[in-house]
Amino acid sequence: MDSIYHSIIEALIFSSDEPLPTSEIIKAIKEIDGSETAITPKDVEASVDYLNEKYEDDEKAFIIKRIANGFAFATKQEYAKYVGFLSSVKSKRRLSQAALETLAIIAYKQPITKPEIEVLRGVNSDYMMNTLLEKNLITIKGRAETIGRPLLYVTTDEFLKYFGLHKISDLPKPREVDEIMKDADFIEEKRKIMMNQIEEIVENEVDSEGDNKSES
């Protein structure tokens, strides 16, 4: 592949306001330069890797992330403090524990019906489902073939974007039930370490959010 395509791929991803799939990149290039242009998904991947290495070397403040089935430019975490101060985009409230729990079940078991979710959580989940639908983190996709033909729920691309995931299979694998009780605190510990690392920054962010501290 000609090295000019590094720049073209860079321009395409840079100009897209949503994560750009490999297929769209190839389509755009072939449309402009002719359908005989030799460019494969592998070339695109290699090009993105090359670009990211360059950004790293040149100490750029941003890189190309693989997210929601596509590529998108994003700032590096080091600059979270500064950009967090400026922008209001992310000063949205974080999801509640109940919302995360419901989302986890849907993410791992999708497509799944509401009754199934409620059995797993042990609580009525009307409100949570409603909230997640409104936030466009989940959506309805068809019906189950079981009695009553309940609606089936799946996660959306917005879900992937919200959590910075490339595809659903990038989610960490849930552990087998047997393992769970053996070292039940494993993940909690991991989370705590993580929390401590970034606590300071998160606090700054929360401070600049200002008004919504009612959740804990």
Partner 1 sequence: MYNINLNSFEGPLDLLLFFIKRDELDIYDIPISNITSEFMEYLALLERLDLEVAGDFILMASTLMQIKAKMLLPKEKDEKGEVIDPRMDLVNALLEYKRYKEMSEELSIQEMQERRVKYRGNFIGDEKKDPDELDALLKNISVFDLVKAFKSALEAKPEEHVHNVEMFNVTIEEQMTEVLNKTDFGKEIKFTELIKGMIEKLRIVVTFIALLELIKMGKIGLKESTEFNNFIIYGTQNG
Site string for its own copies, 86-105 (x = CB under 8 A): xx-xx---------------
Specify whether the CB–CB gap between 154 and 106 falls below 8 A.
Answer: yes
Cis (ω within 30 of 0) for the bond into 115? no
Q: Considering only CA atoms, which of 57, 61, 91 is closest in space to residue 79?
A: 61
Confirm or reject binding of residue 197 to its own copies (CB under 8 A): no
Question: Which residue of 30, 166, 205, 208 would you call a contact of partner 1, by CB under 8 A?
Answer: 205
Question: Which residue of 51, 67, 132, 138 would you call a contact of partner 1, by CB under 8 A?
Answer: 67
CA separation for the pair 87, 115 (Å, rounded) = 39
Placement of tokens 């297929």 in the chain: 23
What does the DSSP 8-state code read for residue 95?
A: P
Q: Pick what 175 binds: partner 1, its own copies, none; C-beta below 5 to 8 Å, kind-dependent.
A: partner 1
Which residues would be at the binding site for its own copies (CB under 8 A)? 7-8, 10-12, 14-17, 20, 24, 27-29, 31-32, 54, 58-62, 73, 75-76, 78-79, 81-83, 85-87, 89-90, 111, 126-127, 129-130, 133, 140-143, 149, 151-152, 163-166, 170, 172, 176, 180-182, 184, 187-188, 192, 204, 216
